[in-house]
Amino acid sequence: MPASTRHHRALAVFVHCLGVLAALPALPAAAPEAAARRPAQTAAATPAPAAATTPAAGPGTAVPAPAPPTATVSPRPAAATEEPTEEPSPSGSAVPTPAAPPPLVSPSVVVPTQGAPPTVTVAVTPASTPAPGYRIQVRNQGRLPVDTTVRQELPAETRATWITPGGRAGRTAGQSATTEITWQLKLPAGGSTTLHTALATAAPGRALSAPACAFSNDGSRAYDCATATWSRPTVPAAKVTGAAVWRRPPVLLGALALVLLLTVGGLWWWQRRRRRRAEILSAATAGAAARTEDPRTTGRGTLYDPRPATATAVTRRRRPPVWLVVAGAATLLAGVVFAAAVTATQRVAAIDTNKQPTSGAWLGQSATGVIGVPLRESAFEFTVYRVTCPPAGGGRQCQATIGVRNVTPQQQTWHGQMQRAYLPGGTWVSTDEAATRLANQGRDVFAQPLAAGTRMVLPLVFTVGGTAQPEQLELRSGVFSAGVRVDVP
């Protein structure tokens, strides 16, 4: 046999062995379990040898020994955790093998609750009363009873004058300038309840927005939020019938001016016509008298002397004096300069140095409002319903409950680093994404895009230091979006 052929065969055998060794881990692991169960079943099926006699029996009496209990083998139940398996040892005894340890889960990751969450909706409508008032309807659309906490944020400089029984007013957590009303409700399956509030304000007549949210019983999750803006009902003004057209002062003054103008024009035209007629009559009379007195006009005909040519005097057009032209030009120039200066001063005074740019590289128009007012930018409509901060301490986590609605026909993404909380002095902090994920039951709200036309209510967490409270929240959909700003009282 040639050497090359022997080498090829040796190489083929080596590769075949490698393939067999690689396929061994993929074989089913039922063989060790069967080998471990076989000795136990054999031992159970073989009866123990019976003793010939017992110590207590008398001589010549044989008492059979009781049979040992028979071991039954039940089928192995299917479970999430694996039972320890037994592997045969070289001596023939089964050696138990410990099961694999459970997977480690980081304590900072919260696994979302399985099952459908309770469906609780909130609707807020303003009252048609002279004083500020709101009507809150909370509905449970699920099939199970739900315990919920309803909180309504009151506008600044207002106080509650009437609350639906069961509610209590108090300061918002971490905020000293705002008040909120809290109700503890138990909604049956498919049930609803209506809450009413009436307010008093120190500045009557201005529009007031009061958002309301339904939270879980422990306050860790917001089911739904809504807001409404109350404004004073407008009283229709009495309809005044205007005077007749011919009795209105402007019409009378215009008619009088027209009559005077026509009168002056008529007099001027009459005087001019009368003067021309007198000149024509006087010229005709003078010509007739000259023909009568001239002796050459008698006889066979009339002789006319040639009229000598006379130079016609040329009248020069009158021009205004030089000093009048110079004075008029100077006055006109001064008026133009004054008008330009006034216009430029007004435009410079109207510039807001604190306002974000809304043109150029920015998309959409920037909007500024207060808590409870929906504000729209290029892609999203943001509504801040509630802002709470714990007492002063290091690394405080302020939580803002906001609503986000996609107002575009396409899905939109947003980023946690673009959402900011501004502190006194101009400093700001971005969203704490880890804490925000923990507050949203382990769900990353920035990972998936928001579908067109959809809305979600979620908490955003900002970690701030010191004793400063956020003065303003800046929310935006993208890097180049103008965004919205919400003042925090």
- What is the domain-level CATH number for residue 461? 2.60.40.1240
Does residue 217 lie within any of the structural domains? yes
Q: Contact at 8 Å (CB) between 469 and 352? A: no
Report the C-alpha dihedral over residues 473, 232, 380, 364, rounded to 10 degrees.
-90
Rg over alpha carbons for the chain, rounded to the nearest Å, is 52
DSSP designation for 463: E
Q: What does the pLDDT read at residue 219?
A: 79
Q: What does the pLDDT read at residue 73?
A: 38
Strand partners, 123: 137
Q: What does the pLDDT read at residue 107?
A: 39
Does residue 61 lie within any of the structural domains? no
Does residue 389 lie within any of the structural domains? yes
Does residue 169 lie within any of the structural domains? yes
The amino acid occupying position 96 is P
Q: Contact at 8 Å (CB) between 369 and 229? A: no
CATH number of the structural domain spanning residue 196 = 2.60.40.1530
CA-based diameter of the chain, in Å?
217
Q: What are the C-alpha distances in Å from 203 to residues 152, 177, 231?
A: 20, 16, 12
Q: What does the pLDDT read at residue 266?
A: 82
Does residue 35 lie within any of the structural domains? no
Q: What does the pLDDT read at residue 279?
A: 80
Boundary of a domain, candidates 177, 210, 230: 230
Give residues with Cβ within 8 angstroms of 409, minimum separation 6: 452, 453
Burial string for 313-345 (b: 16+ CB within 10 Å, else e) reads eeeeeeeeeeeeeeeeeeeeeeeeeeeeeeeee
The amino acid occupying position 300 is R
Quick one: CA dihedral 270, 276, 280, 281, positive or negative? Answer: positive
Does residue 138 lie within any of the structural domains? yes
Domain span including residue 211? 120-230
Give how far the C-alpha of residue 66 lies from the chain's centroid of Cα atoms, to the nearest Å.
83
pLDDT tens, residue order, the chain (489 aa): 455 566 677 777 777 787 777 766 555 544 444 444 444 444 444 444 333 333 333 433 333 444 444 333 333 333 333 444 444 444 444 444 444 444 433 333 433 333 445 589 999 999 988 889 999 999 999 899 999 999 999 888 888 999 999 999 888 765 656 788 999 999 999 999 999 999 998 877 788 999 999 998 887 788 999 999 998 776 655 566 666 766 777 777 778 778 877 887 788 888 878 888 888 888 777 766 666 655 555 555 555 556 655 555 555 666 767 776 777 788 778 878 877 887 888 777 777 666 554 445 567 788 899 999 999 998 999 999 999 888 766 678 899 999 999 999 999 999 999 999 999 888 999 999 999 999 998 999 999 899 999 999 999 999 988 788 899 999 998 888 889 999 988
- If one counts the domains in the chain, the total is 2
Does residue 144 lie within any of the structural domains? yes
Quick one: CA dihedral 156, 162, 165, 169, positive or negative? Answer: positive
- What three-state secondary structure class fits 346? helix
Q: Residue 224 corresponds to which tokens in the numbers above? A: 């739904």
**Is beta strand 472-475 parallel, antiparallel or unpaired with respect to 428-430?**
unpaired
Give residues with Cβ within 8 angstroms of 412, minimum separation 6: 379, 380, 406, 449, 450, 452, 477, 478
Q: What are the C-alpha distances in Å from 473 to residues 178, 386, 450?
A: 16, 11, 21
Residue listed under structure tokens 């057209």: 245
Boundary of a domain, candidates 230, 249, 279: 230
**Burial of residue 32, with CB atoms counted within 10 A of its CB: 0-12 exposed, 13-18 middle, 19 or more buried:** middle
Boundary of a domain, candidates 163, 195, 230: 230
Give residues with Cβ within 8 angstroms of 410, minimum separation 6: 452
Residue listed under structure tokens 């089928």: 75
Q: What does the pLDDT read at residue 364?
A: 74
Give residues with Cβ within 8 angstroms of 197, minimum separation 6: 133, 134, 136, 152, 160, 162, 163, 164, 167, 181, 210
Does residue 142 lie within any of the structural domains? yes
Q: What does the pLDDT read at residue 312?
A: 57
Q: Which long-range contacts (CB under 8 A, 24 or more apart) does 375-379 make?
A: 375/484, 375/486, 376/407, 376/484, 377/476, 377/477, 377/481, 377/482, 377/483, 377/484, 378/477, 378/478, 378/481, 378/482, 379/406, 379/407, 379/408, 379/412, 379/477, 379/478, 379/481
DSSP designation for 51: P
DSSP designation for 247: G
**Burial of residue 484, with CB atoms counted within 10 A of its CB: 0-12 exposed, 13-18 middle, 19 or more buried:** buried
H or E, element range at 296: none
Q: What does the pLDDT read at residue 327?
A: 76
DSSP designation for 378: S
H or E, element range at 241: none
Give residues with Cβ within 8 angstroms of 6, minimum separation 6: none
